[in-house]
Structure formats: structure tokens, C-alpha cells
Structure 1
């Protein structure tokens, strides 16, 4: 059942007592799977999330945290979502029925005096060409940072005493935000970008060692079929983030003329996206 919906409240927090965070459900559309993380020490499943960096947009923070905690590059997915935000006057977004707004928001006490405000977004894994371009950009950024930092090697020695910490620091400094989902790209066309000539689907790349501290380096991640992911996240808002996101994917397909009711998790464990007739939706249907 859906999580309890809280009543509206009055609350006031100075910036010194407020932490803003963002989390994300990352879907691989072509295989009807979603990225779920697992804490290898504490033995629980979760969706990637974390604090927004200073001056960072919250949606961009969701993408970055998704990458750092799961290892999967991702970008926010425009979907037909129920929200209360005005459309605005941007020629790119004002006429679109799709949005990248958060699907759930949580207020979680972080301490006796600090409030945590957490926004949950929906995203997708990136196609192979975007993956390759971003990998090249990150390599160039890391190389430039290494040259720049060479004059401060002594200061870095204490901070990178352990190999794990050093790897985490490098991954954070080299992160490159993804390009946004193309505004005119239909979802079925996006799915075809992940299709192989043999009828299978291209697996998104999972990068190792993207965690930014010792705790995050304990995280593991998997692409799981939608139903299995919801079972592992049962009882949390995260399970409903997956549900809401996947249902919105189906609605967008239906709005595009693709029969969104046919976009289902086949429950077979392989995570293929199929129609009710059994045809793979990676074809040009």
C-alpha cells in the first residue's frame, strides 16, 4: 500500500538547521528494471540518495548522488507527473506535458535541531553514446585536476592516506553532469537506442568505486525487475517512488501512442520489457 501522506504543516528552519537532499529511482527502460542499492555491512536495500552540494540544483544532485552511490550514470526522465508547479514561459518546457519534478518529498529529523528535507526523483540510465562521451569528459577533467593538484601534493597526502579514500576523492572531483533527456525524443525511440541486432538489450555500464567516502564504498547495486525491487523496498517511500515512476513511464508511452498498458514487468527475473502478447518492446513497435 502507498506510504502515509502527511497533513500540511507550518515549519521554519534557518539554513544552519536545514539539510537538503535528493534521491532517485534509475530505470533501465529497455529491460524494465530499476537500480537498487544494498548496504553490504548493514544488510538493507535502498535507492541512492544524499545531500545536495552547496549551490547545486536539487535535480542535478539526484543525478550525481545516483551515480556516486550506485555507479550508474543517469539523467532525469521527463514524465507525466501530478504536481502543483506552474509551467512557466520557457519555450522548451511550457508546452510539454512532461516534467522532472520530485514524485515524493520527505521531512526527516536529522537531529534534535536539524531538519532533513529529501526530494525523490525519477531518472533513466544513459545510452551508450552518452556514456562514452561522459567517460571521456571525466577522464579529461581528472587529468586536468591531477596537473592542477600536483603543486599541493603534500597537503593531499594526509587526506588520501588510504587507497579507498583516494579513489573516492578522485571520483567526486571528476564527476561530469549528464546532458538532459532530449525534449523531443519519444520513449520507444529511446528504448531502441539500447537494442541489439540479436534482439537483446545493451546493458548500462556500472562504474566501480564511485562512492565518495568509506561508507559509500560499502554500497553494492543491481538492476532488478520492477516487482522484485518493490518487494525489497517494501514498507518505505522508496518502494512507492519506483511504483509512481514506472506507472508514469507507462502513461507517457500511452500518450505517445505506444499503448502504455502493455509496458509491464514480466516477472520472469530476466527483467525484459514485453507486451501482453509477449513481444519485446525493444523492437520498432
Structure 2
């Protein structure tokens, strides 16, 4: 797998202030299908060329950032998804009282600041997974209905137990017509290999490099969680 471009990261913390009318907050997701190791990649035609991207967008007023990222992932790609807890390095404290630190967390893996016209745009990037068939049925709704947020990933569900919830050869359901405007309705999406997604996203511009690194971080986190869970199940009773 290609290495991340460390030069794209801001080396030092920043100090800045923006009025509430001058900034917007959004979220994006890299949506993985755990059983096949693929990730959702979106695309659209621009000036005769195909541009690739991960789904993202502004959160709604009063909406939690993670839920907003899941919703944008669904609207722009057509794949329902939920945040996936991973052994992600982060700087957030544990809730009080701190009984024990959670091994896995669904904290964002990358923070991005960018100008959008005269506004400051703040984007939190998350890792999520496609939903099992049972949840797809539970969330079924009429076109144009308000977005239904899926339940969170169960705390004690291992990745291999999660994969076993799908029949052999299952393809995650792709929903048509989920875009909320004319531009989004032109977006295409596909499940592709991690290597292919990183290659297509990282072609020549900083935004694409950042999205490629989101995919890379997500896949590395998934592999690390597999390793941790497999090691735990291989321990003898005396070692537990």
C-alpha cells in the first residue's frame, strides 16, 4: 500500500477565531464493506474528466457531527452506513468517571480546514461500515422521507462476528435517488479495493491526498482491530 504524504499535514497548531456567520462544520466518511475489504468511492464527471471523492457535507443544525457524516455518506453514495469503532489514536479524554479506557473509538481520523468562498469550512473525517441486511430492512423508508440514523455499532461485537451476520457473497445494498439536489443526484458510487481507491483519490491535489489518507487510516485501523481481536481469542484461560 502506498505511504501517506506527511507533507500535507499542518505541522503546528493554529490560533484563529471566526464569527458564527463565517464558518460551517461538516463531516465525511470512508465506508468499508468488512467482508470483502472494499471501500465506497464516489465519482462525477467534470469538464470531460471523472473526479473521485469520498462522501462529505455540512451537518444539519443541531445534528451530531458523526451522525451528520453518516447521513452525508448515505445521501451522496447511496450506501447506508454507521461509524465503526477502531483502535484510533486520539486526544479526547474518557467520560467521567473513568472506569477504564475503551479500546476502540469512533472518533474522527482526520480534521480538515479549508476556505469555501468567504467561509471557513471545518470537516471531520470518520470511518464507517456498510450495514448488515437486518438493519437495511429496519431502516426502509419512502423516498423523500426524513433520514433514519442506524443504531450504533454494538460495543461487544467483534469484526468477525459482524461479518458472520451477512450471507456468503452478500453485496451491500445500494439505494438510488438519495441525493438531495441535482448535483448529488448525478454522483456515481462503487465498492472498490482499498489500493484502487487510494490511487484514484490521490491523483494530484491536496484534497484528494487527504481523502486517500482517510481510506488508508481506516483500513489500517480495521486490520489492527482484527489483529487485536484474534490475539484475544487465542489466549489460553490461564493467560486471561
TM-score bracket relative to the smaller structure: 0.7 to 0.9
Offset of 1:258 from its aligned partner?
5.5
Count, aligned residues: 220
C-alpha distance in 1 between matches for 2:100 and 2:166: 29
Which structure has the highest strand share of the two?
Answer: 2
**CA radius of gyration, larger in:** 1
Question: Which residue is equivalent to 1:51?
Answer: 58
C-alpha distance in 2 between matches for 1:233 and 1:258: 33
Instruction: State how 1:67-106 maps to structure 2 within 5 Å.
Output: 67-89=74-96, 95-106=101-112
Question: CA distance change for structure 1 residues 40 and 249 in 2, over 3 Å: closer, same or farther?
Answer: same
Question: Structure 1: 5+ residue runs without aligned partners?
Answer: 140-166, 260-285
Q: Is the 8 A contact 1:33 1:223 kept in 2?
A: yes
Which structure has the highest helix share of the two?
Answer: 1
Q: Find the residue that maps to 1:257 and give its secondary structure.
A: helix
Offset of 1:195 from its aligned partner?
3.4
1:248 aligns with 2:221: yes
Offset of 1:8 from its aligned partner?
1.0
- Post-superposition CA distance 1:48-67 (Å, at most 9, x none): 00001000000000100000
Question: Which residue is equivalent to 2:161?
Answer: 189
Q: Is the 8 A contact 1:41 1:218 kept in 2?
A: no
1:128 aligns with 2:133: yes
Q: CA RMSD in A?
A: 1.8
Instruction: State how 1:263-278 maps to structure 2 within 5 Å.
Output: none
Question: Structure 2: 5+ residue runs without aligned partners?
Answer: 204-208, 233-240
Instruction: State how 1:120-159 maps to structure 2 within 5 Å.
Output: 120-135=125-140, 138-139=141-142
Question: Which residue is equivalent to 1:267?
Answer: none
Q: Find the residue that maps to 1:204 and give its secondary structure.
A: coil
